[in-house]
Structure 1
């Protein structure tokens, strides 16, 4: 199992108004250290058209941490893939390999336009397909190469800096185009937290796309949740309803990576982002799904990102996460509404239960074979 947290450049969440400067250097260092102390494997360094530069954030934090990895959100199309390959390879060398790329083709037309990108959604996915082909080839080619495609035309491309070990490529999306491109390229395909049935259907779609691309080894699967824990079930649900009330009172919350109102960003995103549409559809079908998946937090925030909650005691939530492990999920991205307190609670009470449960499941499966 791999656990990923989510970094933010200043204190804030859907229930805590952002405080401090847009890039609070002291907070970012303390927040990364909290994830490392809690036993997270990586943190996601997010991206938007107004966010701090993720590569520089990760470079600074790599120098102040020992073990924590960095999953850097990256939008193809704003720098050449050959330059991106060198940038990520350089950072991976300095960070001792603790670097991964989270490929985001772009779910919000409005946010893409802020950086001058006016390609439609299908065009962005075609560009991502070609971008990742050139990116990986730059990392691995031992001789100069040419590439002449729809979006990129490079001649005699080569690099003197390569990663010592492969840089994992994560890929996010929930549309047919996302399955097609991510199934072809992703080491790990990232989904938002939907009910078990719908998650199983998405995993099947990703695997079908991978097989159609000629792959024999399937991508890993990551799923994102917002756990809300309590010492008892009653305490957990009391806290969940308090969180929901505060999200609603805040007009949807303001907890994006940049501090931009996630309520505003959510309504932008929902029009074009299939992932957000799917979360909203799950919320319309009911508030509570499976063991403890709770959707009102998604609908209240406009489903602007990973916004469905798992509510209960650590044992209940761990059991729910293990239900997803049984579907083939290999990675969880977990973030809370109370940034520091939740990170500490996850590390103390939740992650060990899931890791031990997953280990038992693996040992049982191996014994049966």
Structure 2
């Protein structure tokens, strides 16, 4: 089965380790980093959402007009627009990009951050709203006839969208979360379920929960699994771990320079969202897990988003990723700390090895299936 790779699209080079050296809004840098992904084997790039940042759908539209093949994953929060409007916006962008759009729905795990844009619902209420929102968007994409909706969060009459996604397709819907409410909603509605990189055993548990929740929702085929990591690679294992320690030192230095915080979006201590709580609990058990997973970066950032690292040579990191593939992970998110250089290096040195390993597994599975068929015929 194919494996896909997700990178990041951004308008500056700032990261947890790096103060921006670009302009705060630099379209030249945006095109450079997206082109680096397009030219080095990545499948798609994420246009992230933040209450104070640029509007990601506009950035995605700009990139779609400039680059021809890279796919676009648009992060979207249901509290910022009405679902009928969003469905038309997504369909328009999908037309402009000729079918390269996917949408990642973010429910929001931090009450304070949600309140910055007027969202005062509780966490469980937000998840219920997200499910209703996704269902409306799907129907707007596919319905040729006007329809009414009378739901808990949205009510409207006689709506039909004349702008549909490109060439009769339905854009892929991505979703993430580690709470009970997240599994219930995402497993029922999403094509892709995103988890943050955890040790293999706990990742297997997360995947099982997605599959169980999908079965309870009546789905025959569960969502594909997306796992997110921070790669730290070097030519030798010794150099990779030295680089990892340098990354950690840079995180701590940047945090100290900013008064003990890294982002207004995420606290260093006591995060509200279940995913970050899981990352910190795993980090408390030790810095190293399995063959290459390193949790010190998650601990230093308060479990902020995608923050567990994979450390090693390209071969070691590729083998670690193939272990996740063997669990059922089919989309790999890999964002480095030096965004542009790491995107190029990961694309050049790790992606081909992972694809080679997946191709070998596919060939072996085909041989096994052929032998089984021959045995049954005999």
- SS of structure 2 residue aligned to 1:17: coil
More relative contact order in 1 or in 2 (CA 8 Å, sep 6+)?
A: 1
Deviations 1:124-173 (A, max 9, x none): 00000100110100001121111100000011110101112110000011
Partner of 2:355: 355
Deviations 1:208-248 (A, max 9, x none): 11111110011000000001001000010110011111111
Partner of 1:296: 296
Q: What is the deviation of 1:266?
A: 2.6
- Contact 2:271–2:302 (CA under 8 A) maintained in structure 1: no
TM-score by length of 1: 0.96
Partner of 1:340: 340
Partner of 1:35: 37
Deviations 1:65-121 (A, max 9, x none): 111011010001221111101100011011011110001000111111110101110
Of 211, 222, 226, the residue aligned with 2:230 is 226
Larger of the two Rg values belongs to structure:
2
Q: What is the deviation of 1:367?
A: 2.1
Partner of 1:120: 122
| Structure 2 runs not aligned, ≥5 long | 370-378
Partner of 2:140: 138
Q: Does 1:174 align with 2:178?
A: yes
- SS of structure 2 residue aligned to 1:265: coil
- SS of structure 2 residue aligned to 1:107: coil
Of 8, 11, 14, the residue aligned with 1:9 is 11
Partner of 1:310: 310
Which of 106-115 and 224-233 deviates more? Answer: 106-115
Partner of 2:209: 205
Partner of 1:106: 108
- SS of structure 2 residue aligned to 1:47: coil
- Contact 1:253–1:262 (CA under 8 A) maintained in structure 2: no
Partner of 1:152: 154
Of 91, 111, 114, the residue aligned with 2:93 is 91
Aligned residue pairs: how many?
363
Q: Does 1:243 align with 2:223?
A: no
- Contact 1:228–1:336 (CA under 8 A) maintained in structure 2: yes
- SS of structure 1 residue aligned to 2:265: helix
Which of 233-242 and 30-39 deviates more? Answer: 30-39
- Contact 1:15–1:253 (CA under 8 A) maintained in structure 2: no
Q: What is the deviation of 1:57?
A: 0.2
Shift of the 253–110 alpha-carbon distance from structure 1 to 2, 3 Å rule, reads: farther
Q: Does 1:76 align with 2:75?
A: no
Deviations 1:21-49 (A, max 9, x none): 33211111111111111111100100011
Partner of 1:258: none
- Contact 1:247–1:253 (CA under 8 A) maintained in structure 2: no
Distance in 2, matches of 1:242 and 1:292, equals 17
Of 21, 33, 54, the residue aligned with 2:23 is 21
Distance in 1, matches of 2:211 and 2:105, equals 18
Deviations 1:321-342 (A, max 9, x none): 0000000000001110111211
RMSD: 1.4
Partner of 2:200: 196
Q: What is the deviation of 1:13?
A: 1.2
Distance in 2, matches of 1:328 and 1:181, equals 20
- SS of structure 2 residue aligned to 1:56: helix
Partner of 1:183: 187
